[in-house]
Amino acid sequence: MLICNPYEIVIQGMTNNNKRFRPSDWAERLCGILSSFDQGHRLSYHQWVRPILIDNIRCVAVDRKLEEISSTAFNFLMDFARDNDLRILDCKSLLEEQEHKQITLTDAVSQKNAETTQTQLNTIQTEIETEPQVPVNQLRELTPADISSAFAALHLLHPNIRDIAQFQDMVKIQQTEGYRLLGIFEEGKQNAVTVCGFRIVTNFASGRHIHIDDLASLHLPIADEQASQIFETLKTIAINEHCNSIHADSNVSSDSSNMHHLYLKNGFTLCSHKFSQKLD
């Protein structure tokens, strides 16, 4: 028996190549991004987004009302599914098939796949067996319309920012203070896989320079090729903006050792300590 509702869209934890999507708790993580605290200060899932289990396959059910209430959140979920080659299924159609044919979701998907021509199946099999090609990476500076595409990567760096609307508001505030975003996009994907937030700063100590606020990636550690793309682009911007150096902050926890190596490997040096004091 299917447990989704006719007015929901189901993101299934299976790729179009019939591979189970990992990690195993991906559905809970994805729903957690849109979760919030209730009146009892308990974390609860969004009203229109919930993880479900269908035929032992983890899925995310998305109510169509979400598109009306928050098109940004809805598009983020759909882009996530498309970027990761996950099946997007209409629950109403599956319920109708269940009623008339009494088949499971897995059987419905298998039946649909069986209708694919032999030529298409052979093409898919060839792609699976061959060595995967390196994705084409496109780097560009994000426009105000592209802000949401940076959310997934920056959420990994700043998990305290859970809501897309809040994320967009914070970026817009920072943009008035000179904050800019670079994003690297892999071919066919809507969300940036690697993101760099920076601004141009002038002070007595360093003169006019670029300061890197954020550097995050959906791929950890950040690929050398993508890191080089980011830093080379920053150098070009720095020269065009008459900056004399590029600075970056990185915290001192053991979890940040990969970032330290990344900066050192790309020509940065440790030149100062940074002190901070939190205020009550």
CB-based contacts of 21: which residues, under 8 Å, 6+ apart? 13, 14, 15, 58, 84, 86
Could you tell me which residue, 247 or 273, shows the higher pLDDT? 247
Domains along the sequence of the chain with CATH: 8-129 (3.30.70.2340), 137-265 (3.40.630.30)
How far is residue 188's CA from residue 186's CA, in Å, rounded to a whole number? 6
58's tokens:
């983890």
The confidence score (pLDDT) of residue 40 equals 54
One-letter amino acid for residue 42 of the chain: R
Using DSSP's 3-state secondary structure scheme, residue 6 falls into coil
How far is residue 162's CA from residue 30's CA, in Å, rounded to a whole number? 11
Using DSSP's 3-state secondary structure scheme, residue 246 falls into strand
The confidence score (pLDDT) of residue 211 equals 97
Per-residue confidence at 122, pLDDT binned at 50, 70, 90?
low
49's tokens:
């987004």
Task: Give pTM, 2 decimals.
Answer: 0.67
Query: Do the beta carbons of residue 84 and residue 19 sit within 8 Å?
Result: no
The DSSP secondary structure of 178-229, one letter per residue, reads: T-EEEEEEETT-SS-SEEEEEEEEEETTTEEEEEEEEEEESSSSPPHHHHHH
Model confidence over 79-110: pLDDT tens digits? 889 888 898 888 877 666 556 655 455 555 55
Model confidence over 6-62: pLDDT tens digits? 788 999 898 888 889 988 889 888 888 777 544 555 556 778 899 988 878 889 999
How confident is the prediction for the chain on average, in pLDDT? 82
The confidence score (pLDDT) of residue 99 equals 66
